[in-house]
Amino acid sequence: MATSEVNIFCRQMSGIESDKGYSYDDVSRIAKSLLDRVKSRPHIGIICGSGLGGLADVLENKEEISYSEIEGFPVSTVPGHAGRLVFGLLGGQQVVLMQGRAHLYEGYDVHKIILPVRVMKLMGVRILFVTNAAGGINQDFKVGDIMIIKDHFNMPGFAAVNPLVGPNDDRFGPRFPPASQCYSLRLREILRKHAEKLGMNSFMQEGVYCFLGGPSFETVTECRFLKVAGVDATGMSTVPEVLVANHCGMEVCGISLITNSCVMEYDSKQVANHEEVLETGEKRAKDMQKLIGAVVADLS
Looking at residue 56, its pLDDT comes to: 87
Could you report the per-residue pLDDT of 141-193, keeping only the tens digit for each? Answer: 999 999 999 999 999 999 999 999 999 999 999 999 999 999 999 999 999 99
Count of structural domains, the chain:
1
**pLDDT value, residue 3:** 42
Q: How many whole angstroms separate alpha carbon 63 and alpha carbon 94? A: 11
The catalytically annotated residue of 81, 111, 194, 247 is: 81
Q: Average pLDDT, stretch 197-207?
A: 97
What span, in angstroms and rounded, lies between the C-alpha atoms of 88 and 289?
15
| Lowest mean pLDDT segment, chosen from 79-83, 192-196, 243-247, 290-294 | 79-83
Angstrom distances, CA of residue 208 to CA of 55, 91, 143, 190, 205: 24, 28, 16, 18, 10
- Rounded (to 5) percent helix, strand, coil in the chain: 35, 25, 40
Active-site entry in 22, 40, 50, 102: 50
300 is catalytic: no
In terms of Cα–Cα distance, which of 184, 202, 153, 190 is closest to 254?
Answer: 184
Does the annotation count 288 as an active-site position? no
Sorted by sequence, the CB contacts under 8 Å of residue 181 that are 6+ apart come out as 246
Rg (CA), the chain: 18
The SS3 of residue 278 is: helix
Alpha helices in 163-273 (DSSP H): 185-197, 220-228, 239-247
Query: Residue 266: pLDDT band by 50, 70, 90 thresholds?
Result: very high
Q: Please compute the mean of the pLDDT values over residues 39-56 and round it to a whole number.
A: 89
Instruction: Reply yes or no on whether 236 is catalytic.
Output: yes
Instruction: Provide the domain limits for residue 264.
Output: 3-13+22-297
pLDDT value at 5 more than 90: no
What percentage of residues in the chain have a pLDDT greater than 70?
92
Lowest average pLDDT, out of 105-109, 180-184, 221-225, 282-286, goes to 282-286
- Give the integer Cα–Cα distance in Å for 143 and 176: 37
- pLDDT at residue 152 in the model: 98
Q: Is 50 a residue of the active site?
A: yes
3-state class of 109 per DSSP?
Answer: coil
Examine the residue annotation and report whether 133 is marked as an active-site residue of this protein: yes
Long-range contacts of 85-89 (CB under 8 A, 24+ apart): 85/34, 85/116, 86/56, 86/59, 86/62, 87/38, 87/39, 87/40, 87/42, 87/59, 87/62, 87/63, 88/40, 88/56, 88/59, 88/60, 88/61, 88/62, 88/63, 89/59, 89/60, 89/61
pTM of the model: 0.90
Active site annotation includes 274: yes
Higher pLDDT, residue 51 or 159? 159
From 237, 246, 256, 261, the catalytic residue:
237
CATH number where 210 lies = 3.40.50.1580
Active-site residue, 103 included:
yes
Task: Please check whether residue 67 is in contact with residue 273, taking contact to mean a CB–CB distance below 8 angstroms.
Answer: no
